[in-house]
Amino acid sequence: MNQGDNTYRHALLVYPFAAEDFREVPVHAGGVMWYGDTLWVVDTNNGIRVFDLGNVWEVDIGEEIGKVEGKKGRYEAREYRYVIPQVR
């Protein structure tokens, strides 16, 4: 939550992919639980996924997902400002 104006931002759930890159998690959440610095998501088709809330990444707003080719150090997440990485 943005403490300045009490608004929320959505974050994209991602998983590490290759060297210094990530992809969107294709998940239908059957349920979620917040425990400490982790977010537990019940993936209807693949069991339980765990995400690290203590390691939220800020990325550039753009159309791509992950590392942007030809632009060193630029990451995008399909119009999201933040991504949350899967750790389990």
Q: In this predicted model, what pLDDT tens digit does every residue of 4-58 receive, in sequence order?
A: 787 788 899 999 988 789 999 988 888 999 999 999 999 988 899 999 999 999 9
Residue 2 lies in a domain: no
pTM of the model: 0.83
Residue 27 lies in a domain: yes
Residue ranges making up the domain that contains 66 = 11-85
In whole angstroms, give the CA distance from residue 52 to residue 64. Answer: 22
Q: How many distinct structural domains can be found in the chain?
A: 1
The amino acid occupying position 15 is Y
Q: Is the Cα torsion angle 74, 65, 85, 22 positive or negative in sign?
A: negative
Give bridge partners of residue 51 from the DSSP assignment.
Answer: 39, 86
CA distance 53 to 62: 22
Q: Give the pair of three-digit tokens for residue 23.
A: 């992809």
| Structural domain includes residue 6 | no
Tell me what pLDDT residue 44 has: 86
Alpha carbon 23 to its chain's center: 9
